[in-house]
Amino acid sequence: MKNFQKVIAKTKKHRQKILKKLAFTQKKILTLAKSYRRQMLVRFITLEELYGDLPKLATNDSESISTTETLQMPFYFEAQHLQGDTYSLPPLYTITLSNFIFCARYNIILTQFRKIISNSISTQTDSEQFSFRALNFSRLSKLSGHYTLFRSHKNEYYHTIIDNLPRLYLLHQSEFRSLPEIRLLCAGEPTKVETFFLEKLLPDNVTPILVNEEELFQIEHLIFPSFLSRRYAGYLPPFYLKWFLEKVAPQRSSQKNKRIFISRVQTQRGQLRCILNEDELCETLKQYGFQKYVLEHLSIEEQIALFYDAEFVIGAHGAGLIKYLFFLQKTIRV
């Protein structure tokens, strides 16, 4: 009898194990099915596929730089397109689109058939991040006149500086300055940092307006400026940086006397990339005239002034090092 009970118990345990595996497999199959369904429903298309050689207002600024050192470097698989003898800027242009749709929730452009214009995405193009319902069944409002877009990254300082703000440079072409008004659509309130830069970089005839993130907007004339950088590159051309610094840098000579150590240890986000023995490191760096700064404790104006006067900068990998933009025209060691 005892042996029989043991067999029954063992059978039940084995059955539970099989059912658990089946449940896991079923869940995995459902996840894959949903993913496949979304890939079939959420579709992408490029402006080039739509229009071919549709006239674009192109700039004459083009550039290639030598990058032979990258041939010996290990690259993240999605960034392997950057590995080569040279790096070239992407085509720089603006194009005016008629009756295209702006999806404020994702800061992307759609065709009237709800295909996503992949040119409007600077980072991920995975269909998993887009809701089919949001793209197709959100309330649609129509806007007349000329509009352009500002893609906000509220918690991603790097993308604001490298991907989004540089596109404003292309709005300063004479063809757009002659328009009475261009409205800049902002999905949600810009951050203090974004507001600072928008006030410095926007043409006089461009006015920011806030829109509901849960709506779609069909726009009569949509001015689309291209991105100045390629995905994962983080490289901005000298002609843009010169223009950028003229707009935002202090109107004085650089003192070039600051030796800066960028600390992340005191910030919640910084815990992910903090230096474990930072206190010990700071004591050593003090001997060489370095001072510790927690950038989150400084206003954007204070940060710009600090790095404008930099002589040396030390810091862990992270968006804080993007401040090199404010001293690129000087010889400096990072």
Greatest mean pLDDT among 28-42, 218-232, 259-273, 310-324 lies in: 218-232
Q: Tens digits of per-residue pLDDT, 94-145?
A: 999 999 999 999 999 999 999 999 999 876 666 777 888 888 888 899 999 9
pLDDT score for 35:
46
Average pLDDT over residues 195-220: 96
Predicted pLDDT of residue 284: 95
pTM of the predicted structure, to 2 decimals: 0.80
331 burial level (CB within 10 Å; 0-12, 13-18, 19+): exposed
The 10s digit of each residue's pLDDT in 239-274 is 999 999 999 999 898 888 999 998 876 555 556 667
27-36, 45-54, 71-80, 153-162: the lowest-pLDDT one: 27-36
3-state secondary structure 248-316: HCCCCCCCCCEEEEECCCCCCHHHHHCCCCHHHHHHHHHCCCCEEECHHHCCHHHHHHHHHCEEEEEEC
Checking if the pLDDT of 17 tops 80, the result is no
pLDDT tens track for 273-326? 677 888 899 999 999 999 999 888 899 999 999 999 999 998 876 666 777 777
Distance CA 129, CA 123 (A): 11
pLDDT (0 to 100) of residue 77: 74
CB-CB contact of 219 with 101 (8 Å): yes
How would you classify residue 330: left for phi > 0, otherwise alpha for psi between -120 and 50, otherwise beta?
beta
